[in-house]
Amino acid sequence: MTKQNVVPAEVVAAIAVASSYPLFPYPPPRARGRKKYLSRLELGGGRISAWVDSMKASSPTHDKGDVALSAAPPSVEACLDEQSAWVIRYPSALSKFEHIVSASKGKQIVMFLDYDGTLSPIVDDPDSAFMSDAMRAAVRDVARCFPTAIVSGRCLDKVINFVRLANLYYAGSHGMDIKGPEKPRRTKAKPVVFQAASEFLPMIQEAYKALLERTKSTAGVKVEDNKFCVSVHFRCVDEKSWSLLFEQVRSVLKEYPELWLTQGRKVLEIRPTINWDKGKALEFLLESLGFADCKNVMPVYIGDDRTDEDAFKVLRDRGQGFGILVSRFPKETNASYSLKEPSEVKDFLVRLVEWNRRWMKKAQRSKV
């Protein structure tokens, strides 16, 4: 990897303070109804067991049989049948690679990539979720071929420091904090700086401090400040303490009705009640790139978590492009294809770059 493709520390710092720049005009998201989204939290005690079951299901080391505690354990044959049926329904993006690229002929590919669990492995310490040099090289090469965005639940400056590549679009805090390259390659692309929930920042900081205090007695918990959201990681919390942890989080959220609770892989997410998610971020970035009403565009979104489902659904509803779910375990998804782990994501990106180079050479020879 050459040095010119790694963002220098001073550039990283400049991007991280991009909130001082004028915001790109975009219709502001409408506030979600308080009544509608309080139901996700269910402040009554009767829903605690359902949330804990859901927390178990969010772990890639648990299958559906673990959640249905009262049911008999599934047989090996049943698990194999379920896995086979799931792979048929959501085939590997590597095995279907030629079909995927053939569908892109005459279209502009735009890449959207989640970070944790997609470009980096899921690790016990979220601060140590580093991507490999080989993965960074693959992302760098993809970004040279196609407009590329990193869409993460991490705050903007954290994901920039993890990836450390220029000429990418970065969307942190589940797409609520977006920054594009200073000089977009596409002539129709607009400079991008966008924050969807700035008015919630003081409240989120208060909730973050309250969650730190309220959960400090639970061993293994890590509360992460992601600027426009707060992440409560329970990757290292004993499963017997998950009910207690959920109670602690719920007790804080009772004091902040304008914040709501969602869930990902071994993490509880506290977010503002606005109509904004990774799907909205995908649409915003396509518009910023000049592809809002373009029929000859093929967005590709690769992600592993529940929060990525919003983006997968947008692609299905648009009838353009496709989503690729990264998972070793069968689960319902709006994606069209699957990959098992970050190493397969890297292989897919490498093949995509190689295919593009061959196609470009062929196109150049045809002009001669």
Tell me which residue has tokens 């004028």: 22
State how far the Cα of 46 lies from the Cα of 44, in Å rounded to an integer: 6
State how far the Cα of 109 lies from the Cα of 112, in Å rounded to an integer: 10
Q: Which residues pair with 259 in a beta bridge?
A: 272
pLDDT value for 30: 43
What does each of the 368 residues of the chain score in pLDDT, given as a tens digit?
Answer: 444 344 444 333 433 333 333 333 333 344 444 333 433 444 444 466 777 777 777 665 544 444 444 445 566 666 668 888 999 999 999 999 999 999 998 999 999 999 999 999 999 899 999 999 999 999 999 999 999 999 999 999 999 999 999 999 999 999 999 999 877 665 566 678 899 889 999 999 999 999 999 999 999 999 999 999 999 999 999 999 999 999 999 999 999 999 999 888 889 999 999 999 999 999 999 999 999 888 899 999 999 999 999 999 999 999 999 999 999 999 999 999 999 999 999 999 999 999 999 988 887 777 65
pLDDT value for 61: 52
- Of the listed 66, 81, 114, 317, which one is catalytic? 114
Judge whether 63 counts as a catalytic residue. Answer: no
Please give the structure tokens belonging to residue 224. Answer: 């992460």
215 touches 232 (CB < 8 A):
yes
pLDDT value for 192: 82
pLDDT value for 190: 66
DSSP 34-97: HHHHHHHH--SGGGHHHHHHHHHHTSTT--HHHH-TTSPPPPHHHHHHHHHHHHHHS-BTTTTH
DSSP tag of 21: S
Considering only the top CATH level, what class is 22-73+197-275?
Answer: alpha beta
Please give the structure tokens belonging to residue 201. Answer: 């920042």
Please give the structure tokens belonging to residue 274. Answer: 């606005």
Q: For residue 1, give Cα distances in angstroms to 55, 181, 316.
A: 39, 20, 35
For domain 97-196+276-367, give the fold.
Answer: Rossmann fold (3.40.50)
State how far the Cα of 243 lies from the Cα of 173, in Å rounded to an integer: 26
Q: Collect all residues with Cβ–Cβ distance below 8 Å to 284 and sequence separation of at least 6.
A: 26, 175, 178, 194
Amino acid identity, position 16:
A
pLDDT value for 14: 39
Amino acid identity, position 169:
Y
Tell me which residue has tokens 């973050």: 208
Give pTM, 2 decimals: 0.81
327 touches 302 (CB < 8 A):
no
pLDDT value for 352: 98
22-73+197-275 with 97-196+276-367: one CATH topology? no
Tell me which residue has tokens 């601060």: 127
Angle at 152 between CA 150 and CA 155, to 5 degrees: 110
Residue boundaries of the structural domains of the chain: 22-73+197-275, 97-196+276-367
Please give the structure tokens belonging to residue 99. Answer: 């079909």
